[in-house]
Amino acid sequence: MTATPAPIPEGYGTVTPWIITSDTARVIAFIEDAFDGEELGRVEGPVPGRIGHAEVRIGTSIVMLFDSPFTVDTPAMLRLYTEDAEAQLERAVKAGATVVTPVTDVQAWGDRVARLRDPLGNLWWLQERVEDPSPEEAMRRMGEPRYLKAMEQTQIMDAPGLVLPAAPPGRTEAGGRPSGLGPSLTPPGCRPRTPCPSLSSRRSRGTG
């Protein structure tokens, strides 16, 4: 009798991210240099000279990658936990990354956070765990302006060094945004770096 296979293959999590770019080999090299990634394998095709599938292990997680001959680059947004955010950020920069957000003060949930953009435009959050607040304490902190500011620093999309990909000809939305990137992160009537009414009202009520 054939054994029933496990619903999730060994070594994988329930969710596995894809990184889709025009140069998978370069992304793999960056991950190896910046994060001690381990390439598990790659397959060329169906387009000659292109990587049709590759997998890399970073710590306890696996990410999948492939070249994008049939679609535009799709920048991934990934979070990576590290024991030393400053050292990890410095190492990533030496491997070719651009700093988007320097290491922040402690966030409400107990992490220090930095952001970087890799050579192919993928956005990485580097997070260092320094505290372990209870859920109640984390929610209480979310009502304090300094914690809201720290969170804002890791979410703003007009930060120096953050460059969204250009859309192919004929594929732009109103305002010149590349299509296919989802709705604008700025609510109507608000400008980047300007507090929006909804956020201001939450702050005034002291909620997160």
Per residue in 118-138, pLDDT (tens digit) is 999 999 999 999 999 999 999
Is the pLDDT confidence value at 90 over 50?
Answer: yes
DSSP code string of the chain: -PPPPPSS-TT--S---EEEES-HHHHHHHHHHHH--EEEEEEE-SSTTSEEEEEEEETTEEEEEEE-SSS--B--EEEEE-S-HHHHHHHHHHTT-EEEEPPPSPPTTSEEEEEEE-TTS-EEEEEEE-----HHHHHHHTTSHHHHHHHHHTT-SS-TT--PPPPPTT-B-GGGPBTTS-S-SSPTT--TTS--HHHHHHHHHT--
Are the CB atoms for 59 and 87 separated by under 8 Å? Answer: no
Name the average pLDDT for the chain.
Answer: 81
- Which band of pLDDT confidence, cut at 50, 70 and 90, is reported for residue 163? low
Apex 199 CA angle, 139 and 181, nearest 5: 100
Instruction: Tell me the C-alpha to C-alpha distance, in Å, between residue 111 and each of 30, 44, 60, 190.
Output: 24, 39, 19, 28
Domain map (residue ranges) of the chain: 10-74, 77-162
| CATH topology assigned to domain 77-162 | 3.30.720
183 burial type by CB count under 10 A (0-12 exposed, 13-18 middle, 19+ buried): exposed
pLDDT at 53: 96
Task: Give the whole-angstrom CA distance, residue 166 versus residue 80.
Answer: 26
Residue 115 has pLDDT above 80, yes or no: yes
10-74 and 77-162 in the same fold? yes
| pTM, full prediction | 0.74
Q: Which CATH fold topology does 10-74 show?
A: 3.30.720
Residue 126, phi then psi, degrees to nearest 5: -100, 125
Amino acid, res. 63: V
Q: Is the pLDDT of residue 75 over 90?
A: no
